[in-house]
Amino acid sequence: MDASNPELPRAGRIAAGMLLLVVAAAGTAAVRNSELPINVEAASTDFDYKNNSLVFKRVRITQGDMQVDAEEARATGLNFENSEWQLTGDVRILVPDGSLSSNEATVTFRDNQILRAVIVGKPASFEQKLRKSQQLARGRASTITYDVKASTVQLNGDAWLTDGQNQIEGATLIYDIGQQRVAANPNATTPGGVKITINPKTTTKPATTTTTPETPPKDPQTPRQDPAP
């Protein structure tokens, strides 16, 4: 980024703020839900005990206010203390005030909570309602990785973020929750790899109407009467 442009750090803070809201919501849900039961619903299931493999059709996984939906899920075990789930077909992960959507996802469970979620799509996307401004923050990329343990969110491949007004684009966008820092295209050397668009706020002035004073109606003319002879 060009350090001479004072708007670029501000745009970085905008992108960081958007990601902070999305990731903080998901992280809070994971911590709060770790002791809640995990419910799995499906249209059909196929258990392979010999190979410790499970296949679910039209599956829904819920834990507290977190929900995962997919057309198909393959898991290495039903024990959420240590299992991995491969989700395909209209994948949707709901978090407080937002959601992530993709064609494919890999969700890793450790200690009865999500350790990592990697969503892949054309593109993978998320949206989050910003509580302060009530605007809709949105992002998309070829791959979005939420790593709970590392406390980072990484968007790879034509990554794009907007808070409803401003936006930032790059090949890779990484947000570190602990450091409250966003990095765009780290270690890149090619100029022009990061694009930031800052749209000025516009205020709509109330329309003014000019009223023309009404012209008083003319007095009706009195018919002329000739004097009597």
What pLDDT score was predicted for residue 92? 92
Which residues of the chain register pLDDT less than 70?
1-34, 95-97, 130-133, 175-182, 189, 202-229
Distance of CA 7 to the CA centre of its chain: 23
Q: CA–CA distance from 108 to each of 95, 117, 145, 166 (Å)?
A: 16, 6, 11, 33
pTM over 0.95: no
Q: Quick check: is 207 in a domain?
A: no
Q: Quick check: is 94 in a domain?
A: yes
What pLDDT score was predicted for residue 104? 95
d(CA 35, CA 38): 9
Q: Quick check: is 69 in a domain?
A: no
What pLDDT score was predicted for residue 3? 44
The CATH number of residue 189's host domain is 2.60.450.10
* Domain extent for 18: 7-36+87-197
How many domains are contained in the chain? Answer: 1
Q: Quick check: is 117 in a domain?
A: yes
